[in-house]
Structure 1
Amino acid sequence: MAEGTLEDPSVPDRVEKRGRDHIFFVGFHGAGKSTLARNLGGMFNRRYVDTDRLVERRAGMSVAMIFESQGEARFREFETAALASLRVERSLLVSCGGGIVETPRNITLMREMGYCVYLDGDLDDSLRQIRRSDTRPDLVSESHAARLLERRRPLYRRAADYVVDIRGKSFTEVSYAVAELLLERGLL
């Protein structure tokens, strides 16, 4: 097993992959999922997508506007539809919104379509990376963010095929560590 990573043996009865080879990146806000997907896409000539951007295109408004005008439940419906739409694609690197694991169906979809990498970090690291909190409608305050991370951490672990500890690492270091992990397992 590569240093800084682990396969999560606690995930029960994995769904057999059905010919898709997407790599999904999950983790809390500011973990660097989009940067990682973009970096790996450039390194390995693979397309990358961001589920929040897919939702925004489909809804014709920002994530913050969806939360404000239609509520989080409606946003989660859009998110699941965007994720399901990736079934017709191949070999994507997918940056997932921080709350994608809140919907059990999304975890099932990711398992069916590929493999999931959880970028595990601390709240302080995440908050330092978030440049505009107004674009993150589920981050009300630092204490709220701490509770949200605490609630989501076991969901990220349950979804994950691999966990990468990103604490104290630069985006470049994380990119190379994840690339090495995925190459060793024949996933890139």
Structure 2
Amino acid sequence: MNPAPNLFLVGPMGAGKTTVGRQIAELFRMPFFDLDHEIEAHTGAAVSLIFELEGETGFRCREAAMLAELTARRGVVLATGGGAVLGADNRRFLHERGFVIWLDATVDAQLARLERDRQRPLLRAPDRRVRLEQLAAERNPIYAEIADLRVASTGVGNSTHAAHDLLDLLEARWRRGNTDVAA
């Protein structure tokens, strides 16, 4: 969508959505939100605990409600969780309410970045590589469907450099829409 008041980052876990999103928000002087952090702040519970108590279905319901609220704002940068694109309404909100950036990461890059991460419920699998490959097969076509811009996020390097590269791409491809309503 162009012009668009918001920037939404989608992609797999470990792609750098939160890290790059924060820096993009700072560079554009826009408020930043991380969907999972907002769910945790709203519920008072960690995502892993919500998964444990309510299962993935319960978490996805909470995620959809928070995504609807955050995408209704104007002039924000939002980093979504990897599975936020699974719901049809979520995809519609992302597509209609902002410019969608797909930070695409290879499974190898994800494994390197998430090597020490033990908090993500969907990574609790006997073989992390197989699990990430399954998620990619399911979700990559969805990311491709809704993305206005696809950016490779394969290195384990400097996120500031990645944010500046993305900034250059956005300056060429994104026109900020009306942001009259405060975030």
> Which TM-score bucket, shorter chain as reference?
0.7 to 0.9
Match of 1:163 among 126, 145, 150: 150
Question: Is this contact kept in 1: 2:14–2:110, CA < 8 A?
Answer: yes
RMSD: 1.9
Match of 1:187 among 154, 175, 180: 175
Match of 2:13 among 29, 53, 59: 29
Shift of 1:44: 2.0
Return the alpha-carbon distance in structure 1 between the equivalents of residues 95 and 134 of structure 2.
26
Question: Is this contact kept in 1: 2:101–2:147, CA < 8 A?
Answer: yes
Name 2:74's counterpart in structure 1.
Answer: 90
Question: Is this contact kept in 1: 2:71–2:94, CA < 8 A?
Answer: no
Name 1:172's counterpart in structure 2.
Answer: 160
Q: Relative to 1, partners in 2 of residues 1:87 and 1:38: Cα closer, same or farther, differing over 3 Å?
A: closer
Aligned residues: 172
Match of 1:150 among 137, 160, 163: 137
Structure 2 counterpart of 1:166, one-letter code: S
Question: Is this contact kept in 1: 2:4–2:175, CA < 8 A?
Answer: no
Return the alpha-carbon distance in structure 2 between the equivalents of residues 42 and 87 of structure 1.
18
Name 1:68's counterpart in structure 2.
Answer: 52
Shift of 1:170: 3.6
Question: Is this contact kept in 2: 1:40–1:179, CA < 8 A?
Answer: yes
| Structure 1 unmatched ranges of 5 or more | 1-15
Q: Using structure 2 for the length normalisation, give the TM-score.
A: 0.86
Q: Relative to 1, partners in 2 of residues 1:150 and 1:21: Cα closer, same or farther, differing over 3 Å?
A: same
Match of 1:123 among 87, 90, 107: 107
| Structure 2 unmatched ranges of 5 or more | 177-183
Shift of 1:87: 4.4
Return the alpha-carbon distance in structure 2 between the equivalents of residues 58 and 186 of structure 1.
31
Q: Secondary structure at the match of 1:164?
A: strand
**Percent of aligned pairs with the same amino acid:** 32
* Residues 67-76 or 128-137, more deviating: 128-137
Return the alpha-carbon distance in structure 1 between the equivalents of residues 38 and 61 of structure 2.
12
Question: Is this contact kept in 1: 2:9–2:80, CA < 8 A?
Answer: yes
Shift of 1:187: 3.3
Return the alpha-carbon distance in structure 2 between the equivalents of residues 145 and 20 of structure 1.
31
Return the alpha-carbon distance in structure 1 between the equivalents of residues 56 and 72 of structure 2.
26
Query: Is 1:109 paired with 2:96?
Result: no
